[in-house]
Structures are given as C-alpha cells and as structure tokens.
Amino acid sequence: MLLAKALRSSTFKFALVSIAVFGAVVIALFGYVYWSTAAYVLGQTDSAIAAERGSLHRAYESSGHGGLVAAIEQRLADRRFDGFYLLADPSYSVIAGNLSQWPSMLKESGEGWSQFNSDAPKPDASADRVLLRARYETLPDGFHLLVAKDIGDARRFMNGIYGVLAFTVLFVFLLAAVASVSVTRRTVGRIESINATSRAIMESGLGRRIPLRGTHDEWDQLARNLNSMLERIEGLMGEVKQVTDNVAHDLRTPLMRMRGRLEKASIGRREAEGDQSLISAAIADLDDVLRMFSSLTRISQIEAANRTAAFRTVDLAEVAAEVVELFDAAAEDKGGHIRVVDGEPVLVSADRDLLFDAMANLVDNAIKHGRAAGEVTVAVGRNDGGAVIAVADDGPGIPADEHLHVFRRFYRLERSRGTPGNGLGLSLVAAVARLHCARIDMFDNAPGLRVELHFPSAAEYPERGQGIANEGVAP
Amino acid sequence: MTGARRRILVIEDDPETAEQLVDFLETRGYATDLAADGNEGLRLAQSAPYAVIVIDRMLPGIDGIAVIRRLREAGTVTPALIVSALGEVDDRVRGLRAGGDDYLVKPFAFVELLARVEALARRSATVVKETVLRVGDLELDLVSRTVNRGGRAVELLPREFQVLEYLVRNEGHVVPRAMLLEHVWDLHFDPTTNIIDVYVGRVRRKVDSEQAYPLIHTIRGVGFCVRAPR
C-alpha cells in the first residue's frame, strides 16, 4: 500500500527522474574513463611493437635476410625481450621465430594490426594460450615478418577496471533507490500528518493542531506556521462570535423598545399627538440601529480589504487642525477648550477621510470622557522617523488593565454606560490604524488619557499588510 | 418650474420602495416616471428630458452603474442620484466614476433624498455667478468674505463662513448633515457624533442671536435649512 502511495507521490516521481538523469551521467562518465584507459594501455603496447619492428627493419636494411634472422635469434635468446617474432617465406613456411606457424587468418592480407590467441609458450614459460597483439607485413622480397606482444595482462587489467566500474554504477543506483524511497516515505509521512490534521479540523473544528517533531526543520516550520494560522483563525472566529453576540444584544434593546411602542400604538386608540410622538421615538430608535449598523459595516469594510487605492499624501497637521476646528464648538459647549500642539507639517501616505474619521473619534472621546471644562490637546510630530498623532485629555483616564479591551467592538467602560455611544468608535480607530500599519499606544496622562497613533517611517512602509497580522495595540 | 424641471425618473426594482419614493416625490410637487428594471429605465431616460434620475444600484437586467455609463456614453447628461444598499466606502467611488452625480446609501430618510434631488435639479438649472448673497436681512459678501446682518458685522471664522455660504446658497432647501460635511469639509462619511450640529449651533449663535427672527433652522434627524420668514 505504501508503494502504491509512493508511486502516486510527486516526490517519488521527482526522485525517479533524478535517478535516471544522475545514472545516465554516471554511466557516460565511467564509459569515458574505461574507453580512455583502454586506449592508453593499447597505445603503450602498440608503440613498443613499433619500436621492435623499427629495430628489426634496421637490421634487415643493413645486413639483409641474414641480419634479420640473427636479430630475431638474438632477441629470442635474450630473456629481457618478451616479444613474439616470426619470419616466414613467401609461402608462409616458418624461417625463424617463436611462433609455430603463420596465423592462417593473416595470410593474403598484406600488412596491418591484428589480435589473436596463440598456443605459443609464454616467454616466462607459464602455460596457457596467450592473447597476442601483432603487427604483420610483407617485406620487399616477399618474406613475411610478424612482431607481437602478449596483451593478456592488459586485457585482464581492463576487465578488472570494467568490473569495478560496473559494480560502482550498480551500487550508486541501489543507493539512490534506497535514498529516494526513504525521502519519499518521510515526505509523504509528514504531509500525511498535516493532511490528517486538516481532515480532523474539517470534521471536528478548529481545536486541533499539527504535531511538531521538535526537529526545527522546514517541516516543523511549516507545521508551526499552519498552527499559528489556525490559532489566528480560531481567534477571529471567537471575535466574530463575540461581535455577533454583542450585535444581537445591542440590536435587541432598541428593537424591543420599538416593538413595544408600535404594539402600544396598535392596541391603543388613534390619537394624533400620541401617535406622532410614538412614531418619532420609533424613528429615532431605528436611526440608532441603522447608525450602529453602518458603523459596523464600515469597520468590516476597512478591515476586509487592503483599501490603499485612496491613499494620498496627507499632512497630519492640517487634518489635526481641521478636526480641532470642527470640535472647537463641542469643547466650548462643555466649558473646556481644545488646541493643536506643534503644527509643523507632517506628511504621511494615508486615506484622508478615514484618518479624519479616526482622529474625530479620538477627539470626540477625549471631549466626552475628559474632565468637564478640561483641556484636550492634539499633538502631531515625528518620532524615530515615523509620524505620531497624540490626543490627550485631563479627565479620569482609563485603568491600565482596560487599555487592550477598549478597542474591542461594543466594549464600554462601566462608568460610560450612561453616555451616548455604541462602543464602536475605538474599533474604527483600530481598524483605520491597522489599514495604515500604525500602532496605537495608550498612556496615563496623569491625569487623563493619552492615545498615540504611531505611523511607520517611510523605510518600514513597503511591507503593507504585515502589521495587520500583529495587532498594533500595545498598552 | 414646469415640465422637465419638475419631472423625475425613478428606476427601482423593489415595488414597495418605488411606490414610497414616487408618493413622497409627488407630495412635494414632482411628476415622476417609474421604471422597474435597467432596460426600461435606459429607454425612458433617453425618450424624454428629466430634471433628475434616481436610480437603484442593483437592478435586474443591467445594473444601475451600467445604465448610467450607457446614458453618459449616449450623451445624456441628466444628473443621476445613485441609491444603493451596498456599503458606501468603495461603491460610492465606483458609482461616481461611472458618471453618477450623487450617492445615497439605503436606508435613508426621504427628506435627505429630497434634499439631494433638489440640489441636483438646481444644478441642472443655470448657475448664476454672484458676488453677494442675501437672505432676509443677512448679507454675505463672497469677495471680501464678510457677513453682516441688519447692517451689523458678524465675525465668522473662514470655515464658519463656508458653512453659512453653503446653507445660504441652498436657501429654502434642507441640507443634510452628510452633504454639508461633503461640500464644506470634503469628507465622505457619516459622523456618528452630533459634531456637525454643535458646529452649526455655534454659527447660528453668531448669526441669529439678538436678532428679530432666526434664519438657520435645524430639521430634526436630517440637517439644516436657511429660511427667512415671509
């Protein structure tokens, strides 16, 4: 079964192709080594034979037939020579030499090179037939001369090399086969464990995680990344559920009120003034619901896509001045005042509408939850190359352990339950911050709360979307 | 105002919404034609002159944006108000780029729709270049950017002047908050706070306090209106 699985595996197919290519290269390489070694060894023999023939020719030229026979005799008597010689007359009868007869297949063929087995005794008197490489020719006077060497050793040497090479190729193939099978099994095994977890997740929910082996290799890395992705998805699902619950709760309250009013109107007698006030109240409630609804969809829209198409170069100081000017009247109504600190131009790439909305929410919060007759400041500046907006009030502030929660949708501090609002303002600020890859920090302004929006410096900007993975919310 | 000046084409596929729209516009003195799908709307829009076309974004047949694009390609310049149940953020841009002139997200108050329709209808009428605007005893000098009421100067910040100017230019018509925010601040979102009311409140204090009669009126749930007593 594993074999069938292995054959389907793309890793295994890839291994097979690799082995085929690798094997072909090894065979070609070894073939070349074998061929060039053989050529070298034979070349040595051939040049020795040529040298012998040369000196015999010289003897023949200087002293004719007699000299040639004498030279051959002398070589045969000398143990240092291991060659074979044969001089035959035109009718191939042996005149001198240590071969018993002229090889029959060399008759009639003039001159050339040849290889043949002979039962002539070896010079060192060891028995057996010998393999000879011979140069044969017909002398000008019609006699035949043959000079040969025993190449049995060379042949055995070449056979030995051939055996070693063949064995090596076989061994390499075997090794590659074992390696590819084990790599395939390992790969298929790890993928199978990831697949099994995926199936389990599809069947039973997001609680499962891919087991790690602790090897810190790329498989563990993949498993870790998939696991953190699962964690993120699980977290988001939890948030969605939380939000759904909150929406249900916050919608039910005004809807219930509306239903009550309409029911009262439908049961009661028609009466112009009472009906009018019931209808007005119902419309006001409905408007609340719709406003909350559009805030929610707006936040989801900002969060869903990387809406960077509307990004332009925006001067934060200018936006801050406009927000402050817009809220000046509201702060005055509460007896306090609002001002911009340090109005130097600070340019960022941003969506002006969203930025204005986010700043307006922060300032609105600062006025609403700050001290009555207090002061709200909006500061714009640069810090470590990145732009910073800080909105501060001198009111009661927010306890440090609540800092993280206030960005959650519908979250409201206990003491703000009485003030108008739906708990979505800071969620919108957080969504806008994430879109701009900005970080939100909250500090105790002693007294009051200071909220800072830190934009990444130009150098950190290209990785847009990266900041969305790690929420830019830190206490 | 007769004929084409008071004739509005409504292209809306939901029968109940369409009926409400038509009823409301007719009580305000407009004549209306109704088309239930994009093709019919396209045909009607090209067959007669209208002051304004109110068109739903999602329609059976061809959708609202395609209808407007075809009208513009065919050279029909009747102002179009796109009404959509889709989210405002990206869709708005797409609608305006296709040749729509204004955009309103469902659900909306009919008064707001009327305000926008009237603004578009006025726009299709002739635009007069004026240097001084007058309502009752209020006078806005658009060149020197100064305001006086009954001969006494009213000190306004530049932005407050813009707010007043926009309201006065739309004298007698309701200006919804979102329209004010769009035209004075160039912002395209619906503020969840009452900040515009507070801001206009301050303008009103400067303009209307200690005067014979108020000029700036708040229309509850919608916006503001500048009107002199007759």
Q: Is A279 on the interface with B (CB under 8 A)?
A: no
Taking each continuous run of H as one helix and of E as one strand, the counts in chain B are 8, 12
Chain A residues closer than 8 Å to B190 by CB: 291, 294
The answer to whether the beta carbons of residues A345 and A317 sit under 8 Å apart is yes
Chain B residues closer than 8 Å to A287 by CB: 221
CB contact under 8 A, B190 and A332: no
Q: What is the DSSP string of A142-162?
A: S-EEEEEEE-HHHHHHHHHHH
Hey, CA dihedral for B58, B60, B62, B67, is it positive or negative? Answer: negative
The token pair at B207 is: 């303009």
ipTM of the complex in this document: 0.71
Mutation pick from A290, A312, A318, A429 vs chain B, by most beta carbons of B within 10 Å, is A290
Spatial distance between the Cα atoms of A295 and A101, rounded to a whole number of angstroms: 115
Closest CA to A464 of A441, A440, A435: A435
- Write out pLDDT tens, residues A26-64: 889 989 999 999 899 889 889 999 998 898 888 888 888
pLDDT of residue A354: 86
Nearest CB neighbour to A294, from listed B90, B187, B190 = B190
Spatial distance between the Cα atoms of A169 and A165, rounded to a whole number of angstroms: 6
CB contact under 8 A, A425 and B157: no
Enumerate domains of chain A plus CATH numbers: 2-156 (3.30.450), 226-301 (1.10.287.130), 308-474 (3.30.565.10)
Homologous superfamily in CATH for domain B3-124: Response regulator (3.40.50.2300)
Contacts of A177 (CB under 8 A, 6+ apart): A19
pLDDT of residue A444: 86
Q: 10 Å Cβ neighbour count for A249?
A: 10
Closest CA of chain B from A309, distance in Å: 10
Q: Is A330 on the interface with B (CB under 8 A)?
A: yes
SS (H, E, C) A38-52: HHHHHHHHHHHHHHH
Distance (Å) of CA B58 to CA A278, A297, B86: 33, 18, 9
pLDDT of residue A466: 38
Contacts of A267 (CB under 8 A, 6+ apart): none
The answer to whether the beta carbons of residues B52 and B80 sit under 8 Å apart is yes
- The contacts found for A17-20 with CB under 8 angstroms, 24 or more apart, are A18/A176, A18/A180, A19/A173, A19/A176, A19/A177, A19/A180
Chain B residues within 8 A (CB-CB) of chain A? 87-90, 93, 105, 107, 157, 159, 185, 187-193, 195, 198-199, 201-202, 221
Nearest CB neighbour to A353, from listed B189, B192, B221 = B189
Tell me which chain B residue has its CA closest to the CA of residue A295: B192
The partner residues of B217 in beta bridges, in order of sequence, read B225
- Write out pLDDT tens, residues B3-28: 556 789 999 988 888 999 999 999 98
pTM comes to 0.58
Q: Is A360 on the interface with B (CB under 8 A)?
A: yes
pLDDT > 50? residue B1 = no
CB contact under 8 A, B159 and A325: yes
pLDDT of residue A391: 92
Contacts of A432 (CB under 8 A, 6+ apart): A302, A351, A354, A355, A357, A358
Spatial distance between the Cα atoms of B22 and B57, rounded to a whole number of angstroms: 17
Q: 10 Å Cβ neighbour count for A155?
A: 16
CA dihedral B100, B102, B108, B114 (to 10 degrees): -110
Helix (H, G, I), strand (E, B) or coil at A217: coil
CB contact under 8 A, B189 and A305: no
The partner residues of B56 in beta bridges, in order of sequence, read B83
Q: What is the mean pLDDT of chain B?
A: 85
pLDDT of residue A416: 57
CB contact under 8 A, A290 and B189: no
CB contact under 8 A, A310 and B195: no
Looking at B87-168, which runs of residues are DSSP E strands? 102-105, 132-135, 138-141, 146-149, 152-154
Closest CA of chain B from A293, distance in Å: 11
CB contact under 8 A, A294 and B185: no
Spatial distance between the Cα atoms of B83 and B102, rounded to a whole number of angstroms: 9
The partner residues of B82 in beta bridges, in order of sequence, read B55, B103
pLDDT > 70? residue B41 = yes
CB contact under 8 A, B89 and A301: yes
What tens-digit pLDDT sequence spans chain A (475 residues)?
556 665 677 777 888 888 888 889 988 998 999 999 989 988 988 999 999 889 888 888 888 888 888 888 888 888 777 788 888 888 888 888 888 888 888 877 778 888 888 776 655 555 567 788 889 888 888 888 889 888 888 888 888 989 998 998 889 888 888 888 888 888 888 888 888 888 888 888 778 888 888 888 888 888 888 888 888 888 888 878 877 777 777 778 778 888 888 888 888 787 888 888 888 888 888 887 887 787 777 787 777 766 666 788 889 998 999 899 888 888 888 888 898 887 788 888 888 888 888 898 899 888 888 888 889 999 998 887 788 999 999 888 888 777 777 776 666 665 555 555 666 778 888 888 888 888 888 888 888 889 999 988 765 554 444 333 333 333 3
Chain B residues closer than 8 Å to A364 by CB: 193, 195
CB contact under 8 A, A329 and B87: no
Nearest CB neighbour to A356, from listed B157, B187, B193 = B187
Closest CA to A95 of A123, A76, A121, A81: A76
The token pair at A458 is: 């130009």
- Write out pLDDT tens, residues B193-227: 778 888 999 999 999 988 888 999 998 778 899 99
Spatial distance between the Cα atoms of B110 and A144, rounded to a whole number of angstroms: 127
> What CATH number is given for B132-226 in this structure?
1.10.10.10
Contacts of B94 (CB under 8 A, 6+ apart): B65
Hey, CA dihedral for B16, B19, B25, B31, is it positive or negative? Answer: positive
Chain B residues closer than 8 Å to A329 by CB: 198-199, 201-202
Give burial (CB, 10 Å; 0-12/13-18/19+) of A301: middle
Chain A residues closer than 8 Å to B104 by CB: none
**Residues B219, B225, B229: CA angle, nearest 5 degrees:** 110
CA dihedral A273, A276, A280, A282 (to 10 degrees): 110
Tell me which chain B residue has its CA closest to the CA of residue A303: B89
* Domain range summary for chain B, segments of one domain joined by +: 3-124, 132-226
Closest CA of chain B from A386, distance in Å: 25
- Write out pLDDT tens, residues B102-153: 888 888 888 888 888 888 887 766 555 678 888 989 999 988 889 999 888 9
Tell me which chain B residue has its CA closest to the CA of residue A424: B192
Q: Could you give phi then psi for residue A73, rounded to 5 degrees?
A: -55, -45
